[in-house]
Amino acid sequence: MALIVRIGKKVKAIIRKLFPKQHYMGLVRRIERVKTTQRVVAMTFDDGPCALPPSPDKGDDLSLTEKILEIMRRYDARGTFDVVGDTSENYPDEIGAEGSASWGGIKYDHYPQFECDRFGGAKHKPELIHQILSEGHEISNHSYRHLLFGKKNMIYNKRKTFESLTEVLTDLRRLDALLEERDGYDIKLSRPPHYVDKIKGGFTSYDAYALMQYQYMAASFDGAGWLPCADGYEAEVDEMINPLKAALEADEDALCGQIIFQKDGYNMASRSPVADGLDLQLKLLSKKGYRVVPVSELMEISPFADLGEGDDCFEEAKWLAQHGRCVAFDDNTVRTSKPLTRGEAAMLIAPPSAIIARIIELMKNPKAPDLFKDVKLSDPYSTAIRWCVENDIMQPKGKYFLPDKVMTGEELDSVIARFGGATKSLSHTATHADLIKGVYLALCK
């Protein structure tokens, strides 16, 4: 099974290169890494907290989560713990074959192990949540029950999934409310179970996170250990170390701004190589002068994948993002030199509430009428366009809006003026940088 998963990941990467996904500007951005020259990296841990001991158990009377925290303290490192709420509701079920993707359950996931759900999750282990937070770490929402948001046929075709965006939101809100009411903690990041984004009804995790006011926390570097090795535990520890070591030997700055994926739990063979591998990873990073911080702190240095300190309009774009504005594409790129389209201009000009209106309206009426002949309500930019038209900031062309039409500098000048700002009398084709600067100046008046 581990071989199948590895092959599946490679095939998926090839498909992405051959058939690249179209990216749209959005309130939610998939944060995989950020652009920075600083030697700083984020470390994330999925599926905890886990109150069972590491496996194999070396008898130091620490749970796996406590062991991870002890190692992090040793290196003055802080991370992001992507926790679940409680998987004990995911029964009746049967345990799958060890070493397979269904090792913890055929219909559902069960953490930290099958029939051991009471030893994990934020609901059952408030003391571990308190320790995580008190030691300066961050918590993100990995969902309450760890159900797939939608179908993933290749590996998890027998899994039960949520049936609607409403069900996904209900689950996310359970964990969000638990942490807020019990621990006084405000969650800002989330990673979907098994990175499954599609939700029935034409929605995605990006829609759910927009309504939750989360950012999508992904990762750019696989810390490994979650896939079992035929050669056993020591080989799994080596698989955690060797890629990191090779990357740093090739380029000491290779990890700058990256987000590393780890697991606060057992792998498919019920082992936890993170209990030894994490120490060795942090030792390598420490020798190269890296700081290990939570994802939110990494994003304070730079929120974007292609725009960093010292770049043109970085400060303006960062300010707009911090104030909830739709300044980047869903792959977390700003693309400052890209020619600006009318639809993209509407997304940054319209307030977040106008953009979120599309999701709410589609939930209520999936067959809502088109806004213009070339703009359906399901289009990502639809309600931002409507807001700009209703507020006389942008004008349709009869029954058409022409969202894909590239704007001239003169047209952007006029639009920004109606929005209450000004540009520098542009004579060239408008770019994203021009829009960012114009909207920033209008909002900062």
- Looking at residue 58, its pLDDT comes to 87
Provide DSSP, 217-266. E--SEE---SS--TT-HHHHHHHHHHHHHHHHHH-TTTTTTBEEEEESS-
Q: Which residues contact 322 (CB under 8 A, 6 or more apart)?
A: 303
Q: How many angstroms separate the CA atoms of 212 and 203, rounded?
A: 14
CA atoms within 13 A on the CB side of 98: 7
Confidence at residue 404, expressed as pLDDT on a 0 to 100 scale: 97
CB atoms near residue 445 (< 10 Å): 7
CA dihedral 426→427→431→435, nearest 10 degrees, is: 20
pTM over 0.85: yes
Question: What is the residue-level pLDDT of the chain in tens, covering all 445 positions?
Answer: 454 555 455 545 555 555 567 999 999 999 999 999 999 999 999 999 999 999 999 889 999 999 999 999 999 999 999 999 999 999 999 999 998 999 999 999 999 999 999 999 999 999 999 999 999 999 999 999 999 999 988 789 999 999 999 999 999 999 999 999 999 999 999 999 999 999 999 999 999 999 999 999 999 999 998 999 999 999 999 999 999 999 999 999 999 999 999 999 999 999 999 999 999 999 999 999 999 999 999 999 999 999 999 999 999 999 999 999 999 999 999 999 999 999 999 999 999 999 999 999 999 999 899 999 999 999 999 999 999 999 999 999 999 999 999 999 999 999 999 998 777 767 789 999 999 999 999 998 6
Query: How open is the CA angle 178-181-183, to the nearest 5 degrees?
Result: 85
Pairing label, strands 80-83, 259-263: unpaired
For residue 11, the SS3 value is helix
Domains of the chain: 36-298 (3.20.20.370), 306-443 (no CATH)
Contacts of 302 (CB under 8 A, 6+ apart): 34, 35, 36, 257, 308, 309, 314, 318
Q: In a 10 Å sphere around its CB, with 0-12 CB exposed, 13-18 middle and 19+ buried, how is residue 337 labelled?
A: exposed
Q: Are 38 and 256 in contact (CB under 8 A)?
A: yes
Rounded-to-integer distance, Cα 310 and Cα 307, Å:
9
Q: Answer yes or no: are the C-beta atoms of 441 and 351 closer than 8 Å.
A: no
At 344, list the tokens: 């993209």
Quote the CA–CA distance of 364 and 256 in Å, as a whole number: 43
Interatomic CA distance for residues 132 and 65, integer angstroms: 9
Residue 421 is predicted with a pLDDT of 78
94: how many CB neighbours lie within 10 A of its CB?
Answer: 10
- The one-letter amino acid code at 440 reads Y
Q: What is the pLDDT of residue 353?
A: 97
Between strands 259-263 and 198-199, the pairing is unpaired
